[in-house]
Amino acid sequence: MPSIVDKILARAAGKPQVSVGAYITCQVDLAMVHDSSGPRRLGPKLAELKRGLFDPDKLVIITDHFVPAKDDASKVIQKITSDFAKQHKIRYFYPEAGICHVVLPQKGLVRPGMFIVGGDSHSTTAGAFGCYSFGIGATDMAGVAATGEIWLKVPQTRAVELRGKLQERVYAKDIILALCGEHGMDMAEYQALEYLGAGVQSISMQERMTLCNMSAELGAQAGIIAPDAVTLEWLSQFAPECTPAIDISALASDEASHSGPSYQIDLDALKPQVAAPHSPANSAPLTEHEKQMFNVAYIGACTGAKLDDLRAAAQILSGRKIAGSMQLLVAPASKRDQEAATEEGILEIFEDAGARFLPAACGMCAGYGADRLGADDICISSTARNFKGRMGDPGSQVWLASPATVAASAITGYLSDPRLFI
């Protein structure tokens, strides 16, 4: 019996069915690259292969790493990117619109059942829309760009059952950190995770994006959620022309179609989670950590600064000020979310609390831009990873948490439970 993953891969491979462990060649519906993984690497490789693009309309280019261009090297990369887009007549070129994983679905390009590859490990984000989407390296991307195909080994589809309902001030980020803490970063190495169960129904689309995004932190090739009414509501706003044609029931996993280990999380009992340096696997309930002091709080990244994330943090910060010892840095995940947050008065709440705004880009999350952590900085961050030196100097320390926990800690200057700020 096929899972949603098996169904998508079979269609992409042009086969009636696929088997776990089989090697298949799939037609790519969409390929996405950013300014770091894209033209500056694709151009030379395509020239070496003496090949052009298989289909310019199936390649999306989004600039988000070297944004804004802070030095001559960044300016050169941006020029290479824009020149490549012009040369190849790339229809879907989005410079400085925000972080690629958030911009892609907001442009209406992600739809249930698609087979997508991206030049970034967090390309798993698109799985929230019922796609099979995963990250690949520059060499594999060159092959995709030239041929429109890629091979892969059919993964197990492992079930992650979410039972109950998230309690107030507990979020999708806490679900993933709990899984990281319990099972480690090789929980589903090169396999696929399907998030299912009653708990999924109460989770918003942007929160689902966080779940699938951080499947990469669990070692998974992809994370996926079967499309439902929440998915269709999103598509009606961002891709209305495609919504009536989608038969979401055909994509649902059949009974007993999952293989390998299965996992369960009781959302009713889940507490806010925090990961200590220098790994997401160092996660535990916030209450089990000591009262860690911070001097920097960062609300940013594709997994921590979408509109829903900004709303969650603003609920904590409203009418309050950050501690005098703290810096609160906020980098919205996309220009669209930034504009929506402005209209809702969210950015005004951040400003009144004492926050400083950074560009809507990857920025500090991956150590890009002018703002980077110094050797003595101890930061609590809404990002996906806290590897040594990722956000700046190797001497810095990064703790991971939900945007609400980051906001609560910015107010006090130490690790604080967002459930106390009602």
| Res 107 pLDDT > 70 | yes
Per-residue pLDDT tens over the stretch 161-187: 999 999 999 999 999 999 999 999 999
Supply the pLDDT for residue 248.
86
- 252-267 burial: b if 16+ Cβ within 10 Å, else e: bbeeebbbeeebebeb
Per-residue pLDDT tens over the stretch 108-135: 999 999 999 999 999 999 999 999 999 9
- What residues form DSSP beta bridges with 116? 30, 133
- What does 346-381 look like in DSSP terms, one character per residue? HHHHHHHHT-EE--SSSGGGGT-SS--B-TT-EEEE
Distances (CA, A) of 20 to 7, 8, 26, 152: 12, 13, 15, 11
Supply the pLDDT for residue 141.
97
Q: Provide the pLDDT confidence category of residue 247 given band limits of 50, 70 and 90.
A: confident
Residue pair 316/416 in contact (Cβ under 8 Å)? The answer is no
Cis preceding linkage at 56, omega within 30: no
Per-residue pLDDT tens over the stretch 299-349: 999 999 999 999 999 999 999 999 999 999 999 999 999 999 999 999 999
Contacts of 384 (CB under 8 A, 6+ apart): 122, 213, 214, 216, 217, 280, 301, 302, 303, 304, 365, 400
Helix axes 335-343, 346-353, angle to 10 degrees: 80
| Res 18 pLDDT > 80 | yes
Token readout for 403 is: 């945007």
Supply the pLDDT for residue 373.
97
Supply the pLDDT for residue 244.
60
| Res 234 pLDDT > 80 | yes
Q: Do domains 4-248+258-267 and 274-420 have the same CATH topology?
A: yes
- What does 78-91 look like in DSSP terms, one character per residue? HHHHHHHHHHTT-S
Sketch the domain layout of the chain as residue ranges.
Answer: 4-248+258-267, 274-420
Per-residue pLDDT tens over the stretch 21-67: 999 999 999 999 999 999 999 999 999 999 999 999 999 999 999 99
Query: Residue 183: helix, strand or coil by DSSP?
Result: helix
| Res 382 pLDDT > 90 | yes
| Res 246 pLDDT > 80 | no
Residue pair 211/128 in contact (Cβ under 8 Å)? The answer is yes
Helix axes 39-49, 72-87, angle to 10 degrees: 50
Report the distance separating Cα 408 and Cα 412, nearest Å: 7
Distances (CA, A) of 24 to 13, 15, 28, 51: 6, 9, 12, 23
Report the distance separating Cα 177 and Cα 401, nearest Å: 8
Task: List phi, psi (to 5°) of 375.
Answer: -60, -30
| Res 245 pLDDT > 70 | no
| Mean pLDDT of the region 375-398 | 97
Report the distance separating Cα 348 and Cα 392, nearest Å: 28
Supply the pLDDT for residue 243.
62
Residue pair 145/247 in contact (Cβ under 8 Å)? The answer is no
The listed CATH number (3.40.1010.10, 1.10.10.10, 3.30.499.10, 1.20.1640.10) that belongs to domain 4-248+258-267? 3.30.499.10
Report the distance separating Cα 331 and Cα 409, nearest Å: 17
**Per-residue DSSP letter, 98:** B
Domain 274-420 has CATH 3.90.1150.10: no
